[in-house]
């Protein structure tokens, strides 16, 4: 190749070169190099910002703290109801439970009696409040009066020595302890865990469309058969485990009340919260529940108060005895492990 008179010769073809063409090419090369450097820097930044969760080395699906906080930092309703009354009622109870968790922080500084504190009231007028009531139809207003017109409101505060919050809540959600309580044992209790839509527990049940469960939710089925002077109940709950700071808690809410025969009552309202905080000697538990499922004749409120307080005293004692030796069944163990929690 020979260059003369400002031309380049290649294979017999003469291509004229304009003045400054070489410097333009150099600038193009430099610009390309700068672009590559910038792309490299952006890639490195993306790697640094990538999710820092550790991969479970044994392939069991465990996750680290960043993921577990996402699972338990849930907010909003347990079930997304389009029904304005059910949605408004659920929001009111969640706000109420949030206030109780703040109260538990104060209780940590107080000395809780060894036997615990128990209080029950029978409320004979609607309890929910808020501006959302103004948008309810007349029919919904009547439903509210019926559902909230006879509610047993129970509160219990007790301690569980040498027991961690996660162990306490896992036992409450995943065990069949209510079927083992000596004084008033439930006839049946079963659980449905996330991903178990074909569970045997769902077969032949009145729950035609089970809710889609999130990883921190469990569906429970509780049956009390009819007894002497008492109608039975057949109810489904959704339970959701959450955490705020040192407080770990779960909220439960009625999904459906079944009536396989006239001997079973329709439960119109059933919701509650177990909130647990660690203490130097174990953990402290604050329970709040609301229930409307049995007719209470006038003048019998004292009987309901006495029986309910005794029931929760029995639960507190039972939990302290049974939780330390409890071995969860395989589905429950996998659910707990999947949460990736270390409390």
| Amino acid 29: pLDDT | 67
| Amino acid 73: pLDDT | 74
Task: Give me the mean pLDDT over the 262-271 stretch.
Answer: 95
Asked whether residue 285 is assigned to any structural domain, the reply reads yes
| R_g of the chain, CA atoms, integer Å | 31
Please give the Cα distance from 305 to 311 (Å, whole number).
10
Is pLDDT of 74 > 90? Answer: no
Asked whether residue 154 is assigned to any structural domain, the reply reads yes
Task: Return the structure tokens found at 14.
Answer: 């003469």
Helix axes 330-339, 165-174, angle to 10 degrees: 140
Task: Return the structure tokens found at 103.
Answer: 């109260």
Please give the mean pLDDT across all residues of the chain: 82
Asked whether residue 48 is assigned to any structural domain, the reply reads no
Greatest mean pLDDT range, 5-14, 175-184, 195-204, 274-283:
274-283
Is pTM beyond 0.95? Reply is: no
| Amino acid 240: pLDDT | 95
What letter would DSSP give residue 83?
S
Please give the Cα distance from 329 to 333 (Å, whole number).
6
Is pLDDT of 9 > 50? Answer: no
Domain CATH for 173? 3.30.530.20
Asked whether residue 233 is assigned to any structural domain, the reply reads yes
Task: Give me the mean pLDDT over the 254-282 stretch.
Answer: 94
Is pLDDT of 76 > 80? Answer: no
Is pLDDT of 269 > 90? Answer: yes
Question: What residue numbers bound the domain in which 249 lies?
Answer: 65-339
Q: Which of 70-74, 109-113, 201-205, 298-302 has the lowest mean pLDDT?
A: 70-74
3-state DSSP assignment of residue 201: helix
| Amino acid 78: pLDDT | 76
| Amino acid 132: pLDDT | 95
3-state DSSP assignment of residue 257: strand
DSSP 27-75: HHHHHHHHHHHHHHHHHHHHHHHS--PPPPTTSS----HHHHHHHH---
Please give the Cα distance from 217 to 173 (Å, whole number).
9
Helix ranges, the chain (H): 21-49, 65-72, 84-107, 138-148, 165-174, 301-322, 330-339
| Amino acid 53: pLDDT | 32
Asked whether residue 23 is assigned to any structural domain, the reply reads no
More confident residue, 51 or 155: 155
Is pLDDT of 16 > 50? Answer: no
Asked whether residue 118 is assigned to any structural domain, the reply reads yes
Half-sphere exposure of 19 (CA within 13 A, CB side): 0
Please give the Cα distance from 291 to 313 (Å, whole number).
18
Task: Give me the mean pLDDT over the 80-96 stretch.
Answer: 91
How many independent structural domains does the chain possess? 1
Asked whether residue 4 is assigned to any structural domain, the reply reads no
Is pLDDT of 112 > 80? Answer: yes
Asked whether residue 311 is assigned to any structural domain, the reply reads yes
């Amino acid at each position: 190749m020979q260059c003369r008179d400002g031309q380049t010769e290649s294979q017999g073809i003469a291509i004229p070169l304009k003045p400054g063409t070489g410097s333009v090419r150099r600038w193009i090369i430099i610009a390309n190099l700068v672009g590559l450097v910038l792309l490299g820097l952006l890639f490195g930044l993306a790697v640094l910002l990538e999710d820092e969760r550790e991969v479970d080395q044994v392939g069991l699906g465990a996750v680290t703290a960043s993921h577990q906080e996402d699972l338990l930092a849930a907010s909003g309703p347990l079930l997304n109801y389009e029904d304005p009354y059910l949605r408004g009622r659920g929001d009111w109870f969640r706000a109420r439970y949030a206030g109780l968790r703040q109260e538990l922080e104060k209780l940590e500084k107080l000395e809780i009696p060894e036997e615990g504190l128990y209080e029950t009231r029978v409320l004979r007028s609607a309890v929910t409040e808020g501006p959302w009531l103004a948008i309810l139809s007349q029919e919904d207003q009547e439903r509210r009066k019926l559902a909230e017109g006879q509610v047993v409101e129970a509160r219990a505060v007790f301690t569980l020595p040498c027991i961690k919050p996660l162990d306490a809540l896992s036992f409450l959600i995943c065990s069949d302890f209510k079927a083992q309580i000596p004084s008033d044992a439930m006839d049946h209790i079963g659980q449905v865990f996330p991903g178990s839509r074909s569970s045997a527990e769902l077969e032949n049940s009145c729950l035609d469309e089970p809710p889609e469960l999130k990883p921190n939710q469990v569906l429970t089925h509780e049956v009390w058969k009819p007894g002497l002077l008492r109608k039975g109940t057949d109810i489904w709950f959704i339970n959701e485990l959450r955490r705020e700071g040192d407080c770990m808690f779960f909220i439960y809410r009625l999904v459906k009340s079944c009536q396989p025969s006239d001997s079973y009552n329709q439960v119109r309202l059933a919701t509650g919260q177990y909130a647990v905080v660690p203490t130097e000697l174990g953990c402290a538990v604050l329970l709040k529940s609301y229930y409307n499922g049995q007719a209470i004749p006038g003048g019998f409120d004292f009987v309901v108060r006495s029986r309910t307080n005794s029931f929760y005293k029995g639960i507190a004692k039972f939990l302290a005895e049974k939780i330390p030796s409890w071995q969860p069944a395989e589905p429950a163990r996998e659910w707990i492990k999947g949460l990736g929690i270390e409390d």
